[in-house]
Amino acid sequence: MRFIRRDDADRDGMMNGHCRGMGWRLLLGAFLVTMGGPAMAETILFVGNSFTYGVYSPVEHYRADSVTDLNGEGIGGVPALFKRFADEAGLHYDVSLETGPGKGLDWHWTARRDRIDRRWDHVVLQSYSTLDAARPGDPASLIDHAGRFGALFRARNPAVDLRLVATWSRADQTYRPDGHWYGRPIAAMATDIRHGYDAAGRAARMRVVPVGQAWTLAMTRELADPDPYDGIAAGRLNLWAADHYHASAAGYYLAALTIFGSVTGRDPATLGRGERAAAELGLTPTQAAALQRVARDRLAAERGATAAR
């Protein structure tokens, strides 16, 4: 007959329980990975300027605690809107941003490269609003620095998803005599900016997010007023801030929707009338849904144009 000491039996029981517990934890971990839980969160970095961080609007510090500002300035901005949309859609993103007012990609390369030189799953880059502050409409610096950043980020992660944000027409550059696009239609600046970003995208192998074209579509549909200098027509949105240069909450909301749809592949319109960021920014459910449809349709047009090539 074999006698088993009680302390041995207790120890064996504890070990068996421990193994069972380990097994359950492993199964739970596998389940979370399979279901796209927190372990599957993708990293995304936004690099840009005031157009990215949402100056002159409540977007600037919107839900700043939901994202990581690599400069420690408490910015939420368009990245925080992206995060809000992703959370509502059940997508898991760890969002970071690095921004500087009035800066192009050349400045980020020279002054802030050390803060962002790491492995990312996605990177969204936005440069100066006229392409070049000294030479409006000239994409040479954007092309150069998009290529440099492309090499930098691919060295860390060859599979990184890289995108460039083509920005909107500035009313001050269109309707004021000292503006580079003075006397031309409001869509002209966004079109020229897009051509510069397309050239940079081809050179650096990056996709272009058509924010400027989404703004133009909102005006074409008479959802947004095309000229804030002569007053805002009844029932239309003003996409610009009071300086007719930066964006209003509605303008940044449309920009964020377009980026969200581009990066995730999700239809922005599925966020719906009850989308929570819109309400927090003072947009009505009807306005939110209309802006979501604009972003959806602009992105669909981009996909159609790509397929036709």
The alpha-helical segments, DSSP class H, found in 138-284 are 140-156, 171-175, 187-204, 211-220, 249-264, 276-280
| Single-letter amino acid, residue 292 | Q
Class of domain 43-308: alpha beta
- pLDDT tens, residue order, the chain (309 aa): 343 343 444 444 444 444 344 344 434 444 444 444 455 899 999 999 999 999 999 999 999 999 999 999 999 999 999 999 999 999 999 999 999 999 999 999 999 999 999 999 999 999 999 999 999 999 999 999 999 999 999 999 999 999 999 999 999 999 999 999 999 999 999 999 999 999 999 999 999 999 999 999 999 999 999 999 999 999 999 999 999 999 999 999 999 999 999 999 999 999 999 999 999 999 999 999 999 999 999 999 999 877 766
Question: pTM for the complete prediction?
Answer: 0.88
Question: Nearest CA to 297 among 188, 210, 193?
Answer: 210
Q: Can you spell out the DSSP letters for 52-117? A: HHTTTSTTTTTTGGGSEETT-S---HHHHHHHHHHHHTT--EEEEEEE-TT--HHHHHHHSHHHH-
Single-letter amino acid, residue 92: H
Q: Position 175: which residue type?
A: Y
Per this entry, what is the length of the chain? 309
